[in-house]
Amino acid sequence: MNENVQGGMKLTPEQERSRRQRNVAIAAAIGCIVVLFYAVTIAKLGPGVISRPF
Amino acid sequence: MAFVSQTDRGLSPRLAVSTASPKDYLALLKPRVMSLVIFTAFTGLLAAPAHVNPTIGFASLLAIAAGAGASGALNMWYDADIDAVMRRTRNRPIPAGRISRDDALGFGLTLAILSVFCLGVIANWLAAALLGFTIFFYIVIYTMWLKRATPQNIVIGGAAGALPPAIGYAAASGEVGLAGVILFAIIFMWTPAHFWALALVKASEYSAAGVPMLPSVKGPDRTRRAILCYAVLLAPLGLLPWFIGIASLAYGLLAFVLGALMVGFSLRVYFCRAGLKADRCAMQLFGFSILYLFLLFAEIAGEKLFALLPLSI
């Protein structure tokens, strides 16, 4: 199947480019949120994060 | 999210896929308003009598910024018809056709829910509740109701723009203290003079868009009197952070001088009533009002940051 075809529509190069840019932006935003939550978890729990009873 | 409505815009199927770039979605967040929100929330956070872990403080500010961005996106979703008429706003992503209203609504709602949830988890649920209330107040009370209904729209609606320092204070301390209330009051009292100065110059555009701003409904003279009244009330209010001890005497002196200048610029607007000079006076007040708020909050934030420096330096 042609890469430019989505749901029976052929995307223009501009539509392809903007869709790729949006996907990269979403990926970057999700990555930033993951890093942020990791940092906040470490900041909240401190050294105790590795000394929890299992 | 990536499809522009064909029925809304009458586009062919080939053009129905959105060509919006990340930059267009960034524009939906109103970055300039967002920067003011971050700055005032940061000042509120520093003014709280509590130590805040820098990571928690930074993450809290990010969540507050996201909430402000959500408000901007939802505002543009609802006000797309007004934005299309006014020269200042007609190139925004929705009236320019780069993002559909539905996409903006989905983007704004998602961001609003995420920002409130994140602030609750990262800081505390009082700050999150205040952020949620701010978004609700800005969109439902101001944008959907007051803006199109009364010339007092920006007076009451200004509460939404004034809340960020109280949110920052609550994020740091878990309560809304006197300092948070005073910082809120300063921005609340500053808003009418700031916006009405601009509205005096842009009155015809607001009238064309059907927005009942004070100059269009009550006339420019009544607006000039109202601006002067709010400036006179604002000047002593600006001194309160020094009076209650969250800022130094240097701040008090700065607030006194800036307050006097604010009244002075408002007096010029009051007396310059005709021609290009009247517009120039109004725009000078508009510009100075931004400087006024920035300097007051920067002085408080600067003093608090300086106090955090190790004494050995």
pLDDT digits (tens, 9 = 90+) for B153-184: 999 999 999 999 999 999 999 999 999 999 99
Dihedral sign, Cα of residue B271, residue B277, residue B279, residue B280: negative
β-strand pairing of A9-10 with A5-6 = antiparallel
- pLDDT on residue B8: 46
Q: How far does CA B145 lie from the centroid of its chain? A: 18
| A30-49 residues touching B, CB cutoff 8 A | 36, 39-40, 42-44
The span from the CA of B169 to the CA of B49, in Å, is 9
Q: Does B17 touch chain A (CB under 8 A)?
A: yes
Residues of chain B scoring pLDDT < 50: 1-15, 312
CB A25 within 8 A of CB B22: yes
Element (H, E) at A10: strand A9-10
Is the Cβ pair A39, B14 closer than 8 Å? no
A10 pairs with which residues across the strands?
A: A5
The span from the CA of B228 to the CA of B199, in Å, is 15
B62 pairs with which residues across the strands?
A: none
Instruction: Extract the tokens encoding B81.
Output: 């018809």
The span from the CA of B117 to the CA of B66, in Å, is 11
The pTM of this model reads 0.89
Q: Does B11 touch chain A (CB under 8 A)?
A: no
Look at residue A54 and tell me whether its pLDDT is greater than 80.
no
For residue B161, the SS3 value is helix
- pLDDT on residue B12: 41
The 10s digit of each residue's pLDDT in B236-293 is: 999 999 999 999 999 999 999 999 999 999 999 999 988 889 999 999 999 999 999 9
- pLDDT on residue B273: 87
The minimum CA-CA distance between B302 and chain A, rounded to whole Å, is 25
Give which of A35, A40, A45 to mutate to test B binding, by max B Cβ within 10 Å: A40
- pLDDT on residue B15: 45
Is the Cβ pair A9, B13 closer than 8 Å? yes
Specify the long-range contacts of residues B181-184, CB closer than 8 Å, at least 24 apart: B182/B237, B182/B240, B182/B241, B182/B244, B182/B246, B183/B40, B183/B43, B183/B44, B183/B47, B183/B241, B183/B297, B183/B300, B184/B159
Is the Cβ pair A22, B22 closer than 8 Å? yes
The span from the CA of B85 to the CA of B214, in Å, is 19
- pLDDT on residue B11: 39
User: How far apart, in Å, do the first and last CA atoms of chain A sit?
Assistant: 50
- pLDDT on residue A9: 79
